[in-house]
Structure 1
Amino acid sequence: MFGYVTICEPELKVKDLKKYRGYYCGLCRVLKEEYGFMGQMTLTYDMTFAIILLSSLYEDTADMEMHRCKVHPVKKQLMLRNEITSYAAAMNVLLAYYHLDDDWRDDRKISSFMAKSVIHGKVKKIIEQYPRQSEAIRTSMAELSACEKENSMDIDRTAGCFGRLMEELFLYRNDMWEKNLRKMGFFLGKFIYLMDAYEDLPEDLEKNRYNPLRKICGEPGYEDRIRQILCMMIAESTAEFERLPCLVDVDILRNILYDGVWNRYNKIQMKKSEDQKK
């Protein structure tokens, strides 16, 4: 369900692309240092966005480091990290853990049980450190699971579950920006969930799996309706973003929110267009 909140690379300046990759690589390194290989496997673009957003909002300067890694063994890579990077790394691992736990409870996947067992000790410490976020993830995942078991076609309800999860992750501090960060995270979370459901729909229909869009996908004007809903969700999120006093890296943030989040949607439309021509 992650990987939608990323950059639109062709529209990004070279210096901003380098900095974005520095934040991404910094998160990857922190995940490895603090949570090992399994933690590193949870790396997502979405939490990279959260790091840049919160670092800009709270003017938390990132330390610059140069390191080699398994992906780039020859040339040292720029890595940017600060205390918010550690927060994002913890949230990455926490999300992965509850997702694995959900897979184990619902489908009894042995691989999920083994993976969550490996990181259980470290996750226990994260839960103690971030009880609010942990409870939000746990309850949201449980409600999403309930929606699936009920075969709920209530789009607002199912997307809202993930929206509430994201709003808690975006709330790094309880301060004057709480309302804006919550609303921004909530609508961005709904956008992510619906985009994921839209992308997965053909395969879900083929394999007879749950998808909240099953009921409306055959209705006239379905494509226009989905596009409209997605536009409304991201518009609400960006409206809250523009109310925040973010000045540093604002071009990267706007690139992601106005262009990057549509990368996968545009690829889906291109594929559909090619299939129609064939």
Structure 2
Amino acid sequence: MFGYVRPFKPELRMKEYEAYKAVYCGLCKELGRQYGIFARFTLSYDFTFLAILSMAFQKTAPDFSKIRCLINPLKKCSACRQNGVTERIASQAMITLYHKCRDQLLDENWLARLPVSLSFPFVRWCWQKARQKEPQYDCFAADMMQNQQLAESRLSGPDPAAEPTAHFLSQICETLSDDPDQKRVLARFGYLLGRYIYLSDALDDLEKDAKKHRFNPFLQRYTVSELKSVSYSPAVESIHGTIAELEKAFSLLNLNDWQPIAENIVYYGLKQSLQNILRKKEKIE
């Protein structure tokens, strides 16, 4: 995942922000415990949100405890763990990282491949360990990457190009609840969340992809100049439409104590991430 699913801090109450940080710190701690210190630096906001979704459907209460932070060992911070959720999400994060690195190794530019090549033995070791714990997730991720390569080879537009990521997250989110009604809603929500992540990443990488002659779904119909001239409206409208549908699906979920934090991310954070992408493009211009 890519880090576009994050909270909008100004709209979070203090206790909600502390709970969110506790989940993030708990995941960071778990990554270090299972996969070593360097694995901690791979944690993204997207997996923190996935952990919150998972915790919302657990029957046991979360466990908050004080731990020492690697960055500031003199100060203790809160960490949240719950019924194996952090262990599972940490493994899923490493599996995703492995498949993403494998995809990056296909880059034709050897200089771009160099950092990934140097870290790949460590990433592969983490993956071999993680896939034993999460074999189904590994199969889902491998299928997603294969389908993504196929879509890109066909020079697909935004809708078919986003399908593999959307389907992947639909499969993952559907497993979070045993309730049949919630499973259906989670599948739809995950599909739209995956679509949002893929399209946001494509918009974010637009100029870089054009410069390096890499696939980008928005460049199959428009040039960068054409998109700039209309303030990227084809991409922005597609992402806004996805967010609107995602909000409808989200309104049918019952996330218990985690509802306020999830609402902040879905109703404010996703739009803010899009605005951050557009602001970054304004600075480039």
> Given the alignment of the two structures, is residue 166 of structure 1 paired with residue 174 of structure 2, yes or no?
no
| Structure 1 residue 253 displacement after superposition | 0.4
CA distance in structure 1 between the partners assigned to 2:78 and 2:147 by the alignment:
40
Amino acid of the residue matched to residue 61 of structure 1? A
Unmatched 5+ residue regions in structure 1? none
**1:1-278, aligned counterparts within 5 Å?**
2-82=2-82, 83-107=84-108, 109-150=113-154, 152-173=155-176, 175=178, 176=180, 177-217=182-222, 218=226, 223-271=232-280
| Structure 1 residue 105 displacement after superposition | 4.3
CA contact (8 A) 2:147 2:164 kept: yes
CA contact (8 A) 1:216 1:222 kept: no
CA contact (8 A) 2:104 2:116 kept: yes
Percent of aligned positions that are identical: 27
CA distance in structure 1 between the partners assigned to 2:125 and 2:4 by the alignment:
29
| Structure 1 residue 110 displacement after superposition | 4.8
| Structure 1 residue 35 displacement after superposition | 0.9
CA distance in structure 2 between the partners assigned to 1:273 and 1:37 by the alignment:
37
Query: Higher mean Cα deviation, 127-136 or 242-251?
Result: 127-136
CA distance in structure 1 between the partners assigned to 2:22 and 2:176 by the alignment:
24
For residues 12-54 of structure 1, what are the alpha-carbon distances to aligned partners after superposition, in whole Å with 9 as ceiling and x for unaligned?
1111111111110110000000111232122011111111122
| Structure 1 residue 235 displacement after superposition | 2.3
For residues 211-259 of structure 1, what are the alpha-carbon distances to aligned partners after superposition, in whole Å with 9 as ceiling and x for unaligned?
1111344268573332221122122222222212212121110100011
| Structure 1 residue 126 displacement after superposition | 2.7
CA separation of 1:105 and 1:198: change in aligned 2, threshold 3 A:
closer
CA contact (8 A) 1:153 1:213 kept: no
For residues 176-219 of structure 1, what are the alpha-carbon distances to aligned partners after superposition, in whole Å with 9 as ceiling and x for unaligned?
23222111111101101101111111222233322111134426
Query: Higher mean Cα deviation, 158-167 or 6-15?
Result: 158-167
CA distance in structure 2 between the partners assigned to 1:121 and 1:272 by the alignment:
37
CA contact (8 A) 1:132 1:168 kept: no
CA contact (8 A) 2:57 2:177 kept: no
SS at match of 1:213: helix
Amino acid of the residue matched to residue 89 of structure 1? A
Amino acid of the residue matched to residue 63 of structure 2? D
SS at match of 1:41: helix
User: How many residues of Structure 1 are paired with residues of Structure 2 in the alignment?
Assistant: 275
| Structure 1 residue 155 displacement after superposition | 1.2
SS at match of 1:80: strand
CA distance in structure 2 between the partners assigned to 1:120 and 1:211 by the alignment:
27
Query: Higher mean Cα deviation, 33-42 or 2-11?
Result: 33-42
Q: What's the Cα RMSD here? A: 2.3
Amino acid of the residue matched to residue 166 of structure 1? L
CA distance in structure 2 between the partners assigned to 1:142 and 1:112 by the alignment:
19
CA distance in structure 2 between the partners assigned to 1:241 and 1:76 by the alignment:
34
If the length of structure 1 is used for normalisation, what is the TM-score? 0.89
CA contact (8 A) 1:101 1:113 kept: no
